Amino acid sequence: MNSNEAIVVCRCEEVTYGQLRTTAEEYQCTARELKLRTRAGMGFCGGRTCRIPLDRIIIDVLSNVSRSDIPLKYQPPVRPVSFGTVGEKND
């Protein structure tokens, strides 16, 4: 196993570089399909921390894809919530 394969790229869903790279190579998938197959970018942060590595993996694996062809976007919360609201006790 390569030392890079164990690196966790998506902390929210605990997806490693090895899992992403293997899936991308096996299925020759788009960024969206890679996201759906591995759940990378679908966690609490909505892909804010792992989007760039996901894009780079797709560019490395698919030679005919340019950075402008990758349609992933950040998913903001539907409605912002303050920490005070989240921490309130509703007895």
Domain with 35 in it: what CATH number? 1.10.10.1100
Residue 54, C-beta contacts closer than 8 angstroms, at least 6 positions apart: 9, 10, 20, 31, 34, 35, 40, 41, 47, 72
Mean pLDDT is lowest, of 48-52, 58-62, 64-68, for: 64-68
Residues 17-24, mean pLDDT to the nearest whole number: 93
pLDDT for residue 84: 78
Specify if 23 maps to a domain.
Answer: yes
* Number of separate domains in the chain: 1
Q: Which residue range forms the structural domain that includes residue 20?
A: 7-87
Specify if 81 maps to a domain.
Answer: yes
Specify if 2 maps to a domain.
Answer: no
3-class secondary-structure state, position 45: coil
pLDDT for residue 75: 58
pLDDT for residue 31: 81
**15 DSSP 8-state letter:** E
Percent of the chain topping pLDDT 70: 77
Per the prediction, the chain carries an average pLDDT of 81
